[in-house]
Amino acid sequence: MWEARLLNCDICGREITNQAFKVMVEGAKMLVCGRCQRLGKPYVEEPAFKSPLPRGIVGPRVIQRRAPELPRGMDETDIVEDCADRVRRQRMKLGLSQDQLAKSVKEKLSVIQKIEIGKMSPDTRLCRALEHQLKIKLLVPHKELVDVPKTAAPTEVTLGDIIKVKGKGNLNLEG
């Protein structure tokens, strides 16, 4: 790739002493060390400008920049709140072990374990694979935001609402 000097890995934070790698992790482009390289997929950056002119003919320099796109499905769905329970119950109902489920969705056993105990939420790709394998629903359409009417006075308690100042005359600032 290229030689890295005074760079830190975007994943683990260690200084990159040898070769740095460009990888894509859940849609994010990262510069990582050799240890963290396996956590993403390698990618090659496309040039910012591709000339429509034949090679050797120089035209005006125009660089078009595209707005960053969200990964597919990112803006359309949410993961159900009881995802961990649904996955665990359905896996057990189908008589699958965690290891069998992990292999069938091409994931590590530790990822399935973390999902089932609620320490981790699966990404959209894994949700779709689990839905297909377990025949359950894990992704639901985004909930519409409810427009909350604004109030004139703040409803939160602030430090000024509860403080008592001691000194001359024991001034009490409690509201």
Amino acid in position 62: V
Distance (Å, whole) CA 124 – CA 78:
9
Q: Using the predicted structure, report yes or no on whether residue 85 has a pLDDT greater than 70.
A: yes
Q: Which of 40-49, 64-73, 86-95, 150-159 has the highest mean pLDDT?
A: 86-95
pLDDT value at residue 77: 79
DSSP letter at 50 equals: -
| pLDDT digit string, tens, across residues 104-128 | 999 999 999 999 999 998 988 999 9
- Confidence bin at 28 (pLDDT 50/70/90): confident
Question: Residues 27-51: what's their mean pLDDT?
Answer: 81
Residue 40 Cα distances to 11, 69, 85, 152, angstroms: 10, 19, 28, 49
User: pTM higher than 0.75 for the full model?
Assistant: no
- Confidence bin at 146 (pLDDT 50/70/90): very low
3-state secondary structure of 144: coil
pLDDT value at residue 70: 55
Structural domains of the chain sorted by starting position, each given as residue range(s) with its CATH number in brackets: 2-42 (no CATH), 77-141 (1.10.260.40)
Q: What is the pairing mode between strands 19-25 and 41-42?
A: antiparallel
Lowest pLDDT segment from 16-25, 41-50, 79-88, 134-143: 41-50
Distance (Å, whole) CA 108 – CA 120:
13
3-state secondary structure of 161: helix
